[in-house]
Amino acid sequence: MTVSDANIILAIQSFTAFSVQTSAEATAGTNTTANILYSTASRTQAAYTVLKAYAVDQLASDLDKVGKTATDSQSEKALAYLIAAYYEQKDPDIFAKSVSFDGYSVSRDGMSGYMHAYQAILDALPLVDSGAITALQDSDGLIKVRDHTEYQESWRLTGLDQTSIDPF
């Protein structure tokens, strides 16, 4: 994956409800009220660099597990949702089955909306042709079994009259 921090931060700001401090803003000491700070954290704010490191590892692991690859833009969007899901875990009520406040009630099924969106991206990616079958084909396009070298070159049906019609 060759995705950039700037594109991931832009994707977080575009696809989620969270604000992110950029590297330049962190250096200048601005945008310190963002939900996700660039390299520092507090009780209510997360560190982008830490969340990104975990998200990149998780995405690579998930893609390998299901045998899929993602384009840079798909990776950036998936990382944005994954980072948002990680940030949501700072909420003390994240693991509550339902939360009520001022007449409103929200129920969860175990995964946050951002994790559902992340999973939807993974599910929508096409499978990669691993070459596992094509590597076992001979020059005529016939698929060989793993131990094809142990079989004889020519086959004959034993116990049948050779002049009879092929039963297959």
pLDDT over 70 (residue 31): yes
Per DSSP bridges, beta strands 36-37 and 46-47 are parallel
pLDDT band at residue 37 using 50, 70 and 90 as cut-offs: very high
The residues pairing with 37 across neighbouring beta strands, listed in sequence order, are 47
Tell me if residue 44 falls in helix, strand or coil.
coil
Is this structure's pTM higher than 0.75? no
Q: Which of 2-6, 70-74, 77-81, 88-92 has the lowest mean pLDDT?
A: 88-92
Backbone angles phi, psi at 152, to 5 degrees: -75, 160
Q: Which has more confidence, 10 or 147?
A: 10
Buried b (16+ CB within 10 A) or exposed e, 42-64: eeebbbbbebbeebbebbeebbe
